[in-house]
Structure 1
Amino acid sequence: MNSPRVVVIGGGVIGLSIAFHLAEAGVDTTLLERGSLGSGASRATADVVRSYFAGNPVSSALAVRSLDAYHAFPSRPGTDLPLRQVGYLVLFTEPEQVSAFEADLPDQRAAGVDVGLISAEEAREHNPLIGDAPLLAAAYSPQAYISDTTAIVTAYARAAERAGARLRTGCAVTGIEPRAGRVRTPDGDLTADAIICAAGAWSASLVRCAGVDLPLTDPIEQELLTTDPLPPNTPDIPVTLHAASGLLVRLRGERLLIGMGYPGPDRQAWRRGVAEQLAATYPSLAGVALHTAVTGLRDASPDKTAFIGHQPGPPAFLYATGFSGHGLCNAPAAGELVRDLYLDQDPGFDVTALAMSPRRTG
């Protein structure tokens, strides 16, 4: 194998963004992916890019920066992306949820998020499927779009290769020796000036090998469900989150795509809970059949904010992990930040907010 300057571990949307931004900057880069590109958490997304993450202005700031990059995709990296603006609606049924939103709002605005509090009546105008169950108010952000995760993964991969990066699929990393800059694979070892971990659900053991103590959870299996075809007159709706239950829905073609937390060990009980919450929030959909749309493993951090950091070298060790389902919304910014950390450039972002600290252990 060659001896690149940088080895990126992980071929999801985060790793590919990093590989693209490094290669574009002239850095000799090799990316290693154990399966196919985009086969981990990047496979199990709702194809939504948005800027508002309630109670998490750091993720929101990353997402605002990333949305700007997605809008600029036709010129850089040079691919037209589908971006259908639908908005993002969060339904509040408890006074505490409204209070928390109002307390969080100044930080969200400071992060660049366009979001505001609207009435229950306005929420039902945005989403006519909402039933008559008690609803106090809602948050609404127009900055939410339906895109295509596969198209984003493919665009980053092609652009990275055009810029000179080597992308090796079916190449699992069996171990790393960060102090030696060595990455072990079944096809042989690589040595590099820097190792970058963007391995998603498989990151925990790798960062531990580098002596980085991140409180990453065990890999979590995400499942998204879909309905049978809905009636032809079903109205278009925003991406809508029921704050109390975590029920998230959006239209995908003639069906509804649905997420609600994680299945856990009792998948049937979880599905029953999803069906019950769906019927309570959207009575016209009571009894609709639910089917698995997609599953995938996801990484997570205690506060649902990514860990992005740097141990200087040479050899250096960098990491971008723990995105907790926000990876698609954060990927362009994550690639830029890791590039700038590696090149010792000003990232234009307070990266200390993404570092490990006692307040982030949950």
Structure 2
Amino acid sequence: MMGPRVVVIGGGVIGLSIAYHLAEAGVDTTLLERGTLGSGASRATADVVRSYFAGNPISSALAVRSLDAYHAFPTRPGTDLPMRQVGYLVLFSEPDQVTAFQADLPDQHAAGVDVDLISAEEARKLNPLIGDLPLLAAAYSPQAYISDTTAIVTAYAEAAQQAGATLRTGCPVTSIDIHAGRVQTANGDITADAIVCAAGAWSTSLVRCAGVDLPLTEPIEQELLLTDPLPPGTPDIPVTLHAASGLLVRIRGNRLLIGMGYPGPDRQAWRQGVATQLAATYPSLTGLALHTAVTGLRDASPDRTAFIGHQPGPPAFLYATGFSGHGLCNAPAAGELVRDLFLDQDPGIDVTALAVSPRRTG
């Protein structure tokens, strides 16, 4: 027999992980998604799962826990995922970047992250495409994999349904009345013992309805680019971030997948900036045409760490939002934490660091 009724708002990888973990624990779970499953931020990922998030050991700890869960996917929930290990390389061109890395390193190791400082020479061996740009050192973490976000979304959706969850797509939530435990949708109202907001870029108004003040930034449009086919013989490389510019690249098939910040209002100028930085960092790729690979709205918090918390009821209100591009890497842990908060179980980590608080909103 199913337990209390919970409504999860948001059908991206975070909401689906929550729905799966709740339903698996015997909770009567309904998930509501405004569009199709995985159509928000989950659509615009580089399909990279990694554990190292510079200067953010809390996100790193969630990612370490999540990476363990992804490795265990063939057993639970029971789906084989592509997991091709490529490593994650961060290029440092300025002394303060090296200083900041060294200051952050003890907390990263305490979070379980395998990451260390390597020389510029070692970095160029790992990524032979790097040109003659100023390079002092690099961070390298072998714990980075190319996976498949769509496969993860599908696996969580199927496992949630098999565990008894109801997934409703094309069902935008217009408002919530937390005191009545009522979720208002375009297709009618739903009552619940608890409401979980995992709506990503659409979370702000919903959490405000529940009386929770999360300082989420305005939704940001993410765009990833693909190059024309790479020259024959181009070597495989780690996922590589140029710290000064934010240029992030990885090989996808016979092309390079690229991200660099956010386009903003002048998309043409942004794309020209990407091309310029790509040529400076990887001269052998100069002149390759760039094409849009994918776009999607992304939620963000001021400190780039997710908000995960619990406002006790009844009816209870829980939230998991503001993942700032870390959602795919944090999703399994986020689902476990929301489940444990709802069931009043020990989540195994200090969740007060993730909740809304004066420290995070001041």
User: Into which bin does the TM-score normalised by the smaller protein fall?
Assistant: over 0.9
Quote the Cα distance in structure 1 between the aligned partners of 2:39 and 2:250. Answer: 22
How far the C-alpha of 1:4 sits from its partner, in A, is: 6.7
Quote the Cα distance in structure 2 between the aligned partners of 1:361 and 1:285. Answer: 43
Deviations for 1:289-325, whole angstroms, at most 9, x for unmatched residues?
0000000000000010000000001100000000000
Contact between 1:65 and 1:333, CA under 8 Å: does it hold in 2?
A: yes
What residue in structure 1 maps to residue 255 of structure 2? 255
Contact between 1:77 and 1:156, CA under 8 Å: does it hold in 2?
A: yes
What residue in structure 1 maps to residue 99 of structure 2? 99
In structure 1, the gaps of 5 or more residues are none
Structure 1 counterpart of 2:307, one-letter code: F
Quote the Cα distance in structure 2 between the aligned partners of 1:282 and 1:179. Answer: 56
What residue in structure 1 maps to residue 230 of structure 2? 230
Q: Secondary structure at the match of 2:118?
A: strand
Q: Secondary structure at the match of 1:29?
A: strand
What residue in structure 2 maps to residue 264 of structure 1? 264
In structure 2, the gaps of 5 or more residues are none
What residue in structure 2 maps to residue 218 of structure 1? 218
Quote the Cα distance in structure 2 between the aligned partners of 1:52 and 1:352. Answer: 21
Normalising by structure 1, what TM-score?
Answer: 0.98
Kindly report structure 1 stretches of 4+ aligned residues shifted beyond 3 Å: none
Q: Secondary structure at the match of 1:180?
A: coil
What residue in structure 2 maps to residue 37 of structure 1? 37
Quote the Cα distance in structure 2 between the aligned partners of 1:268 and 1:357. Answer: 39
Contact between 1:304 and 1:324, CA under 8 Å: does it hold in 2?
A: yes
Structure 2 counterpart of 1:102, one-letter code: Q
Quote the Cα distance in structure 2 between the aligned partners of 1:248 and 1:345. Answer: 38
Q: Which moved more, 1:283-292 or 1:349-358?
A: 349-358
Contact between 1:303 and 1:361, CA under 8 Å: does it hold in 2?
A: no
What residue in structure 1 maps to residue 174 of structure 2? 174
Normalising by structure 2, what TM-score?
Answer: 0.98
How far the C-alpha of 1:186 sits from its partner, in A, is: 1.5
Contact between 1:4 and 1:30, CA under 8 Å: does it hold in 2?
A: no
Quote the Cα distance in structure 2 between the aligned partners of 1:110 and 1:137. Answer: 22
How far the C-alpha of 1:231 sits from its partner, in A, is: 1.4
How far the C-alpha of 1:356 sits from its partner, in A, is: 1.7
- Which structure 2 residues correspond to residues 176-191 of structure 1 after superposition, within 5 A? 176-191=176-191
Structure 1 vs Structure 2 CA RMSD: 0.9
Structure 2 counterpart of 1:168, one-letter code: R
Quote the Cα distance in structure 2 between the aligned partners of 1:197 and 1:232. Answer: 47
Q: Secondary structure at the match of 1:174?
A: strand
What residue in structure 1 maps to residue 287 of structure 2? 287
Instruction: Give the paired residue count.
Output: 360
Deviations for 1:94-142, whole angstroms, at most 9, x for unmatched residues?
0000000000000000000000000000000000000011100000000
How far the C-alpha of 1:200 sits from its partner, in A, is: 0.2
Deviations for 1:144-166, whole angstroms, at most 9, x for unmatched residues?
00000000000000000000000
